[in-house]
């Protein structure tokens, strides 16, 4: 799958935007490796540019990096009960389903904006809204084919959920993001 970094400008009307992405070439097969050094370098640039309040990461395949980012990013204002790096397990319908619901509701209510990049539009256009298999009535996002990626939309859903969960009194200017 693709690796996508999405940012959210925190404010009265949050703004979701594409930071960067690493595209898995079509038919690359299992031999494809994400250029992790590029992702790490880009995250360093993001930290130098923005105040990062939250960094929600989907850990499968990134466990070692997520653990090191947790140490590197630390806690908000030194409060050990408020870590900056959070895990967001997209493979759990009880976590992802409500996040999809809130994202779609916010989209309908126009309670956030987005940059409308062709990349994000492509991810959104590829996505199929379905129900999680065997897990009750939770919504899920699916890709129609192996080559039609939805990773950027999934990242936007997680970024929105992460921003929406920030305590109001702690929301900084301007940033939360997802990888």
Exposure string of 103-116, with b = 16+ CB inside 10 Å and e = fewer, is beebeeeeebebee
> With bands split at pLDDT 50, 70 and 90, how would you rate the model's confidence at 78?
confident
Terminal alpha carbon distance of the chain: 12
> Above pLDDT 70, what percent of the chain?
93
- Say what angle helices 151-164 and 118-126 make with each other, to 10 degrees: 100
Q: Who wins on pLDDT, 65 or 173?
A: 65
pLDDT of res. 135: 62
pLDDT of res. 24: 86
> With bands split at pLDDT 50, 70 and 90, how would you rate the model's confidence at 89?
very high
pLDDT tens by residue, 18-77:
999 999 888 777 888 999 999 999 999 999 998 899 999 998 889 999 999 999 999 998
- Sheet with 175-178: list strands edge to edge: 85-87, 52-57, 175-178, 3-9, 15-22, 113-114
Mean pLDDT of the chain: 89
- Rounded to two decimals, what is the model's pTM? 0.90
């Amino acid at each position: 799958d693709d690796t996508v970094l999405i940012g959210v400008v925190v404010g009265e009307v949050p703004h979701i935007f594409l930071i960067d992405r690493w595209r898995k070439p079509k038919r690359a097969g299992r031999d494809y490796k994400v250029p992790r050094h590029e992702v790490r370098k880009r995250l360093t640039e993001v930290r130098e540019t923005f105040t990062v309040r939250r960094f929600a990461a989907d850990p499968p395949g990134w466990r070692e990096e997520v653990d090191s980012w947790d140490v590197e990013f630390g806690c908000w204002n030194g409060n050990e009960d408020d870590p900056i790096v959070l895990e967001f397990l997209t493979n759990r319908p009880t976590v992802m389903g409500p996040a999809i619901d809130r994202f779609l509701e916010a989209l309908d209510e126009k309670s956030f904006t987005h940059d409308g990049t062709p990349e994000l539009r492509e991810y959104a256009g590829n996505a199929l809204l379905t129900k999680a298999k065997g897990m009750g009535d939770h919504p899920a996002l699916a890709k129609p084919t192996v080559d039609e990626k939805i990773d950027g939309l999934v990242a936007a859903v997680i970024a929105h959920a992460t921003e929406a969960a920030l305590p109001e009194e702690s929301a900084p200017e301007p940033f939360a993001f997802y990888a």
